[in-house]
Structure 1
Amino acid sequence: LVFKAINSVTRRYASYYFGEKVALYYLWLGWYTILLVPAAILGVIVFLYALVHFVSSYYRKEVCESDTVMCPRCDKWCQVWQLRDTCTYAKVSHLFDNEGTVAFAMFMAVWATIFLELWKRHKATFVSKWKVFDWCEEEEELILGVLNDPDCHPKEFRHSYLRSTLVLVLVTLMLVLIIGLTQALVVFRVVAAVLLSEGTWEFVRDHANTVAVMLGAVLHYITMQFMTRVNKAVAFKLCEIGESGERSFTVKMFTFQFFTLFSSLIYVAFFLGRINGRPGSYVRISGKWRLEECHPSGCLTDLFIQMAVIMLLKQTLNNIFEKCGHCYKNACREEEKMGRDPCDICKLRDWLRNYDLNDVNFFSLFNEFLEMVVQFSFTTIFVAAFPLAPLLALINNIFEIRLDAIKMVSLERRLVPKKTNDIGIWTKVLEAIGVLAVIANGLVIGVSSDFIPRLVYRYHYGPCANGEADVHVRKDFFPSQLITESGFNVTQCSYKDYRNDVDYSLTSQFWLIMAVRFAFVVLFEHVVVIFKCIAAWFVPDSPMLVKNDRLKDKLCRLKEELQ
């Protein structure tokens, strides 16, 4: 019923009252929401599959029954710990790091292409009904110019290599600043983990790294909200310096937003726990604090936490603040109207009521598109680490489409109706996200997750090897750290790496797993790209009915011109 209402409202009212540009936004949002249903269902199935095998995994049994003593995860305050202590974490991580997520990641990468191809068909049907299939923005601007001034001249295109170079340099500096903020978040998590490990609360002290990651995710969300405003101002100024127009602004704004949102996730997915060194040769910030390590259950757990916190905060809080903000502004205006002459209010009741609504501008619709495209990025790019992302997106969109309609109809002034036959540059942005989804998910499964090491372990080394080398501890830990909870002193401990215990050189296991990882990433990406190309070829951009109707219209126009 919800989806039926979505399409009904879009078809009947949006194009008549708001114009084709707003109507296409709701048409796209409704279509995106509908196609999220199969993705959400499959994501839940993958999650339930992992839940069924929650206890039966042979790998989890070996972790839970292991006697391996692991090295301290931080300086001074951490002690050695047993690998079996992570039994619960190992089981939980299996919920989003299992064989099913590989197939689901491949499905989502192909789904992104199928969604775009089906959207083109869906859009073509309505654009043909609205008689704007052959509409051209440049021609309309020229016609309006001629109507205002018969002797007008077209606005000539200009290009300056100097201005383009300046814009490119400024964009690069802005991206460096955004990446620098990501590094600041890394430092925050490192320092927070140390301070939390010194705290008085036992639970926080025992889970200092996990709490630090969650605090980092919350701070990342706050940074995103602040940088969104900065990015918008910078993108607008850059358009004034270089090429202006909606297309140029959209590309710059989305680029800044993408790096703001995903820089931290990229670090967690591909760098966390891989550049922190080893016992005896740890990498430290300012020579003092050790770089953070991955969660004991695997690096994918950290990525899962970041994705879950950011998606929940971003979608829930954004909707709440957006709706409450508009209601508060309207309430303030209602108070201002109390002093007006009642006779004037009766005469111009509708005009005054509409005028007193929140103002709208170019950014009103742009912000809605940006919010949904960013959500599409979260749903597809790192979905291998968070199979429930499509479900969260679906639930959010069911409310989002209704809240957007309420906002545009009753809380904001009416947008100026504008013609268009497409969602513009956003189509290219969505296509680029589809390509990034293939690359990112292939790397997440092949590099970040433990899928490949478990595969090699199962089929090459068998149940008698644990894949971890013993490391003799000599100078890197304090004596108090080498005492187990039972009071037993140890002289050596293990850590998650593939090195021998003599000269710490990489073992043959490391190179074998590295080769398998590389082969998997290449195979995954080639297979998915082939499926994406087949899907794009198999689904025509326009239905045959639309093509035939356009052909008949062209024939009728030609006959009229020849008569």
Structure 2
Amino acid sequence: MNGHENEEPAFEIGVVIPRRVVQEKDESSDCAHVLVEEFKKVGLIVERVIGIADEFIKLAAPLETLGRAAAELQIKKLTHIGMDLQFEVEEVEAFVKQPDGSVFSWCERFQCYCHLIYGIVNNSKSAKTLKFDGKEIHWEVGENLLQKLESERIVKQVFPLHDERTRKKLLRSWALHWWDFTSQPIDEIYSYYGAKIGIYFAFLGMYTRWLLFLAVFGLTLQLIDFGSLKLVVLPIFFVVVILWGIMFCQFWKRKNAALLARWPISSAVAADPGYKIPARKGCSLQPPMELIKIFEIDKAKGKEVFQRSEWLGRLMRFRNDAIIIFSIICLQLPFELAYAHLYEVVGSDVIKFGFTAVYLLTIQYITKIGGKVSVKLIMYENNENTEKRADSLVYKVFGLYFMQTYIGIFYHVLLHRNFSTLRTVLIQRLLLSEVFENLLENSLPYLKYSYKKYRVRHKKKYEKGESTDKIQFTSRVEKEYLKPSYSASIGEELEDGLFDDFLELALQFGMIMMFACAFPPAFAFAAVNNIMEIRTDALKLLVILRRPVPRASATVGAWLNIFKFLILVSICTNCALLAWMYDEEGKWKIEPGLAAILIMEHVLLLIKFGFSRLVPEEPAWVRANRAKHTTQAQDMCSKKLLRTISGGEKNFAEVKKLE
């Protein structure tokens, strides 16, 4: 369902089953036939497609079916008076529609699909015997059909499908729209991919637009020889850079608030970073509902259980953080320092360039191992919700990448104070690392897709003895199934591919901010890279990868705190760079210039912590709109309550008269 009630619903979910060798004579016991019939019974529109190696069941849902599922799930949606109320099919006009005109967002639709297809159980009085490719499966009373077939490896996968009409429209208006460098159809991206991906591209677009100013400023400093005024111009540039970073973070909060006010996202949905297919659940120490039940039965015992769970969770997080920190210090730090020392010793620039390329390739795999360890550790943390779990993972993995990215550069600055080497390293990292990352993140999925197609053709060739040239993939759903999912590089279990994209932006931000005084043109490199990133990421999502599972997170989460942390570190590193440039002889005399740098550092730190008071986090119209909706809701509730009380008194008086 793409959004308009009068249009034919688009197929949005695909179910994959192996292609059978033995066809069952009795269709009533055939697994695939039973599955299709059960899907139809719950109101889904079904289409079967026979692929080369597998069979596919495509699912679509009309508005009535989605509305019934939303009512059963008690999904809360935003109404025209600004309140989040449980959805009711009869009152559909009371709820705010999506930017594309649809009643439900992609996150809500996906949740409804999961509820419908995973809610099919055997309601008969006896077990049913199903057959698939000569194999018998017993479907017990009350047992979930889809989960049963998944455990028997009959259903291979359930995954979202691209809507071809919307995908082609986004290709024209987004991925291939080069005329305006940073222009993006954010509302359409939100409608098609969900809030989290929409927020990411809004953040990337704003970050890139703001970079253009510093790119021009930095290039001006590089191209014009200021001579003796350089030690005056560089501090000015440094102050502008820090103020720019502080303002960017604060004004992003305003933009984020404006986007949430424009998109009809309920507070209940926005609190959860997304929905997963039910078969893929994370684990925790003890489900919160069990703790609540204990508390209701015995408050004294429940309080003790809650406290034990709370402190045990904190201790486990502390233990995991300590493991990561000690791993960085004992394992990663020596490796990084050894690389930095060898880089300083080697004389040939060509060897240095090749050495850096080999190092970047090697460190990618080392850091991935650390990331996978972090994922495993977090699975055993007692986090409050999935958002807290995601933030904990972000902080741990960013610590690994922070060490990998910056320790070599700090080595050149702190020990050798070699600014020519520092500039060379920055150029190599900005050019080589970012170009390498872009090639890797776009070429690897395509190579995986090509390899999967080759394997399917090769297997079919041996089964039928045909030439691989005759085996062609004609169905779009089979091509989508073979495409890689949008997942993080540190582990397939982390389904959110935005992790890598945000990590790339954060590392770039730290690189250009922390060493701004040493290499001002770095902002121009970053701006050009991000302009390319907007289009290549769009192509990656629309063409190379499957449609991602939606996530409803309405902010950038922990990444904004990381950006703020990098601004704080930038104040210290740039002041150190200016001090070393000013005091080239290393005498460390407190002269006026050096004293001014120290004063400037303290002033900028005060500005960093006090600027949030100056710029409000929400635009005035957002606050006014919320206040208006709150007033309307209070008035309506008050009137309804008065009518109820008044009606109750009249009924009571009538009863008295009859007596």
TM bucket (normalised to shorter chain) is 0.5 to 0.7
What corresponds to 1:264 in structure 2?
A: 408
For the residues of structure 1 that align with 2:340 and 2:216, how far apart are their CA atoms? 35
- Corresponding position: 1:425 with 2:558: yes
- Any idea what the Cα deviations from partners look like across 1:375-394, whole Å, max 9, x if unmatched? 11112111111101110011
RMSD: 3.3
Does the aligned pair in 1 maintain the 2:271–2:553 contact within 8 Å? no
Q: CA deviation at 1:264?
A: 0.8
Given that 1:270 and 1:444 are in contact with CA atoms closer than 8 Å, whether structure 2 keeps it comes out as no
**1:133 CA displacement:** 6.9
Q: C-alpha displacement at 1:121, in angstroms?
A: 1.2
Q: Aligned pair 1:9/2:185, yes or no?
A: yes
1:101 is displaced (CA, Å) by: 2.3
Task: Indicate yes or no: 2:600 matched with 1:541.
Answer: no
Q: 1 CA distance for matches of 2:472 and 2:548?
A: 25
Cα pair 2:190 2:197 within 8 Å, conserved: yes
- Aligned mates of 1:32, 1:44 — CA distance in 2: 18
Q: In 2 relative to 1, CA 152–217 (structure 1 residues): closer, same or farther, beyond 3 Å? A: closer
Q: 1:549 to 1:272 in 2, by over 3 A?
A: same
TM-superposed deviation, 1:319: 0.9
**Cα distance in 1 between the residues matched to 2:267 and 2:622:** 12
State the alpha-carbon separation in 2 of the partners of residues 248 and 112 from structure 1.
24
Q: What is the CA-CA distance between 1:105 and the residue it aligns to?
A: 1.6
Q: 1:245-296 CA distances to partner (integer Å, 9 max, x unpaired)? A: 11110010011110111111111111225xxxxxxxxxxxxxxxxxxxxxxx
Following superposition, the deviation at residue 320 of structure 1 comes to 1.4
Aligned pairs for 1:22-61 within 5 A: 22-50=197-225, 53=226, 57=227
Alignment of 1:408-419 (within 5 A): 408-419=541-552
Q: Are residue 167 (structure 1) and residue 306 (structure 2) matched?
A: no
Instruction: Give the Å deviation of 1:549.
Output: 1.1
Tell me what 2:635 maps to: 559
Query: CA offsets per residue over residues 324-357 of structure 1, 9 Å max, x none?
Result: 21222222233345549999976xx332222121
Corresponding residue number in structure 2 for 1:528: 604
The corresponding residue for 2:365 is 226
Counterpart amino acid of 2:401? Q
Residue 158 of structure 1: aligned partner? 310
AA paired with 1:544?
A: A
Alpha-carbon displacement from aligned partner over 1:387-446 (angstroms, at most 9, x marks no partner) = 011100110011111111111111111111121221111111111111111111111111
Indicate which of 125, 129, 149 corresponds to 2:258.
Answer: 125
- The answer to whether 1:318 aligns with 2:425 is no
Identity %: 20
Alignment length (residue pairs) = 415
Q: TM-score, normalised by structure 2?
A: 0.57
Structure 2 unaligned runs (5+)? 1-176, 279-287, 293-305, 384-388, 465-469, 488-494, 641-659
Match of 1:332 in 2: 451
Name the CA distance, whole Å, in 2 between partners of 1:436 and 1:251. 16
- Of 464, 479, 484, which aligns to 1:358? 484
Classify 1:158/1:391 alpha carbon distance in 2 versus 1 (closer, same or farther; 3 Å). same
- CA-CA distance at 1:220 after TM superposition: 4.4
Question: Where does residue 290 of structure 1 map in the other structure?
Answer: none
- Report the counterpart of residue 182 of structure 1 in structure 2: 336
Q: Given the superposition, is the C-alpha separation of residues 414 and 511 from structure 1 closer, same or farther in structure 2, using an over 3 Å criterion? A: closer
Query: Matches of 1:395 and 1:364 in 2, distance apart?
Result: 22
| Higher relative helix content | 1
The 1-side partners of 2:450 and 2:351 are apart by 40
| 2:582 corresponds to | 451
Give the secondary structure class of the aligned counterpart of 2:379: helix
- Equivalent residue in structure 1 for 2:390, among 246, 251, 256: 246
What is the CA-CA distance between 1:98 and the residue it aligns to?
4.8
| Partners of 1:121 and 1:541 within 8 A in 2 | yes
Amino acid at match of 1:255: G
Give the Cα–Cα distance (whole angstroms) in 2 for the partners of residues 235 and 517 of structure 1: 45
Change (3 A) 1:243 1:524: farther
Measured in 2, the distance between the counterparts of 1:105 and 1:236 equals 37
Q: 2:376 aligns with which of 221, 224, 237?
A: 237
Match of 2:527 in 1: 394
Deviations 1:210-260 (A, max 9, x none): 667656644543443233312312322332354551111001001111011
Worse-matched range after superposition: 408-417 or 125-134: 125-134
Q: 1:357 to 1:14 in 2, by over 3 A?
A: same
Q: 1:534 to 1:383 in 2, by over 3 A?
A: same
Q: Secondary structure at the match of 1:386?
A: coil
Query: In 2, are the aligned partners of 1:213 and 1:305 still within 8 Å (CA)?
Result: no
Q: Kindly report which structure 2 residues correspond to 1:374-385, keeping only aligned pairs within 5 A, or say none.
A: 374-385=507-518
Q: Deviations over 1:126-152 (max 9, x none)?
A: 11111237446558999x99xxxxx95
Cα deviation for residue 521 of structure 1 reads 4.0
Asked if structure 1 preserves the Cα contact closer than 8 Å seen for 2:181 and 2:531, the reply is no
Rounded to whole Å, the distance in 2 between the matches of 1:517 and 1:271 is 23
Distance 2:274 2:223 in 1: 55
TM-score scaled by structure 1? 0.66
Aligned-residue offset at 1:556? 2.2
| Separation (CA, whole Å) in 2 of partners of 1:535 and 1:179 | 35
Pick from 592, 595, 598 the counterpart of residue 519 of structure 1. 595
Q: Report the residue type matching 1:224 in the other structure.
A: I
Query: Which digits, 9 at most, give the CA deviation of each residue in 1:56-112, with x for residues without a partner?
Result: x47xxxxxxxxxxxxxxxxxxxxxxxxxxxxxxxxxxx9xx7542222121111111
- For structure 1, which segment, 522-531 or 379-388, has the greater mean C-alpha deviation from structure 2 after superposition? 522-531
Query: How far apart in 2 are the matches of 1:432 and 1:333?
Result: 42
What CA distance in whole angstroms lies between the structure 1 residues aligned with 2:232 and 2:353?
26
Whole-Å separation in 2 of the counterparts to 1:511 and 1:129: 55
